[in-house]
Amino acid sequence: MNGAQDKLKVLFASAEAAPWAKVGGLGDVAAALPAALIGTAGSALDIRLILPFHAEIKRKNPTLGYLGAFSVPNQTGVFSAELYVASLHGITTYLLDSELTNHNSPVYYGDPALDGRKYAAFSVALLEAARFLDWQPDILHANDWHTALAVYALKTLYQQDSFFKETRSLMAIHNLPFNGYGSEFAMTELGFTPGTYEDLPDWARLTPLPLGIAAADQIVTVSPQYAREIQTRDFGCGLHEYLEKHHNKLIGILNGIDTRLWDPAADPYIPFPFTAADTNGKTLNKAALQRELHLEENPDIPLLTVVSRLDHQKGFGLLFDAIPDNARKPWQLVLLGTGSQDLEARAEDLMRQYPQKIVSLLRYDEAMAHKLYAAGDLFVMPSLYEPCGLSQMIAMRYGNIPVARATGGLQDSIINYHKAPDEATGFLFTEKTPEGLVSSLNSAILTFQEKETWAKLMNNAMNKDFSWKSSAQNYWSIYQEIKSKRE
């Protein structure tokens, strides 16, 4: 593929893309993966990103051009949409605006009906945007439930449409439990009918993500282990039988991280840069953070860190239940994040009970997040499930050794000290219990006292390659396979 006409054209559809609109890990992926794919495929690929023109993006006021207005069909006639173009990380990025898809709305309302209306309309409008541009995508790369109906639409509403006759689809699952349930009225309003896929359960026949999964030519999860887990009853959210039966079109690819943004040698947020070859700066960062947060300044006390959304999925119940029984042991804990009110209240309560050991910072603070990664000795991540996880990769890059549950991307990205001590990059436990976490933490704290062993662990972790390069190569191969099946 050398000529411009031979480029493989990919429309990458997402609800989020950092830094313009980021609520979770999806925003990081949409920002980084398209650029990494260009780095891999070069001139053979024409990949373009499309997002709703959220109010949050409007407030950031990016440099953009106005492309024009077009009509989108629905049951009652049409609705009008406007299309803008900008550049995000060097990628052509379209911003789609209309009263149905945005109208100065938040990224997510938190109301199933309102979010369903917004993203069902966006899913149809993004296809009409491609037609308006007269740019026929070879592949639609949809992400999570917010754009899944675009995949379903290709096989239903647009099945006889000659413009999309050659367009194939990839459905990326970032978090299966969030499936868009509650979108039924909006879907019906836009002309969607219930799916007729025999293997789908009845509840899924007017639910965006299951329909996108069933209609897709390829399904990708954000880690190999998560691809295996969602074929089981415990993790499959009622779709495990369908996914197991159709496992031949399911694959897992581990996400990467932006290694330029997360670089301890050149991080503008941390006072003392450091590298795997010279970690003295890490010791100085720890001392500086202990002083800043009024903790005892002592390099021999292991500093536990948490940077996370406070959500029960993240295993905070295990962590908070484990603390009282281990309060006499030598450690400090700094937690940064916001989330559910009950977990925030418990975090504040524990800080009041153990003011010399625990600091709970219940806020979003980018600079402090970088400081915690750089200063911490142990990064605690006891997730009940974790499709991929990026925090453990960032922590390892900063020599902050993860203690995590053996699930999803955590299991794929962390080499367990108890399985392979010479290659280890962290500590894993399998039980969904406070006792399982405590056992793993105690093992890590004991190992922390063995300075030579700990130095090797840090060196292993910091030298792991978590860049997007490998992931992008895998996605590029899948794109080519999808296209070859069409030809």
How confident is the prediction along the chain (487 residues), in pLDDT tens digits per residue?
444 558 999 999 999 999 999 988 899 999 999 999 999 999 999 999 999 999 999 999 999 999 999 999 887 788 999 999 999 999 999 999 998 887 678 999 999 999 999 999 999 999 999 999 999 999 999 999 999 999 999 999 999 999 999 999 999 999 999 999 999 999 999 999 999 999 999 999 999 999 999 999 999 999 999 999 999 999 999 999 999 999 999 999 999 999 999 999 999 999 999 999 999 999 999 999 999 999 999 999 999 999 999 999 999 999 999 998 888 899 999 999 999 999 999 999 999 999 999 999 999 999 999 999 999 999 999 999 999 999 999 999 999 999 999 999 999 999 999 999 999 999 999 999 999 999 999 999 999 999 999 999 999 999 999 999 999 999 999 999 998 876 5
Is residue 236 located within the same domain as residue 180? yes
Torsion of CA 45, 46, 52, 58, to 10 degrees: 110
**Does 12 fall in a domain?**
yes
Helix axis angle, 469-486 relative to 25-41, nearest 10°? 70
Alpha helices in 294-433, H assignment, sequence order: 316-322, 341-353, 366-375, 391-397, 408-413
Tell me the residue range of the domain where 252 lies.
Answer: 4-256+469-486
Neighbour tally for 78: CB within 10 Å: 11
The strands making up 303-307's β-sheet, listed across from edge to edge, are 358-361, 332-336, 303-307, 378-381, 401-405, 427-429
Is residue 128 located within the same domain as residue 220? yes
Count of structural domains, the chain: 2
Is residue 370 located within the same domain as residue 454? yes
Is residue 216 located within the same domain as residue 307? no
The whole-angstrom separation of Cα 204 and Cα 113 is 16
The pLDDT, as a whole number, for residue 76 is: 72
Beta bridge partners of 361: 336
Is residue 69 located within the same domain as residue 90? yes
**Does 165 fall in a domain?**
yes
The whole-angstrom separation of Cα 236 and Cα 176 is 8
The whole-angstrom separation of Cα 483 and Cα 14 is 21
**Does 270 fall in a domain?**
no
The pLDDT, as a whole number, for residue 5 is: 58
| Cβ pair 9, 46 in contact under 8 A | yes
Is residue 231 located within the same domain as residue 300? no
| Cβ pair 68, 95 in contact under 8 A | no
CA distances to 86, 210, 231, 319, 425 from 334, in Å: 39, 39, 36, 12, 21
The whole-angstrom separation of Cα 470 and Cα 453 is 29
The type of residue at 343 is L
The whole-angstrom separation of Cα 254 and Cα 258 is 14
Is residue 446 located within the same domain as residue 477? no
| Cβ pair 390, 28 in contact under 8 A | yes
CA 126 centroid distance within chain: 22
**Does 267 fall in a domain?**
no
**Does 481 fall in a domain?**
yes
Is residue 222 located within the same domain as residue 117? yes
The pLDDT, as a whole number, for residue 77 is: 80
Is residue 336 located within the same domain as residue 457? yes
Structure-block tokens of residue 373: 């990664």
**Does 415 fall in a domain?**
yes
The pLDDT, as a whole number, for residue 100 is: 85
The pLDDT, as a whole number, for residue 4 is: 52
Is residue 237 located within the same domain as residue 293? no
β pairing state of 65-74 and 77-88: antiparallel
**CATH number of the domain within which 418 lies:** 3.40.50.2000
| Cβ pair 11, 50 in contact under 8 A | yes
β pairing state of 77-88 and 91-97: antiparallel
Is residue 219 located within the same domain as residue 311? no
Q: Which helix (H) or strand (E) holds 49?
A: strand 45-52
Is residue 246 located within the same domain as residue 295? no
CA 103 centroid distance within chain: 26
The type of residue at 33 is L
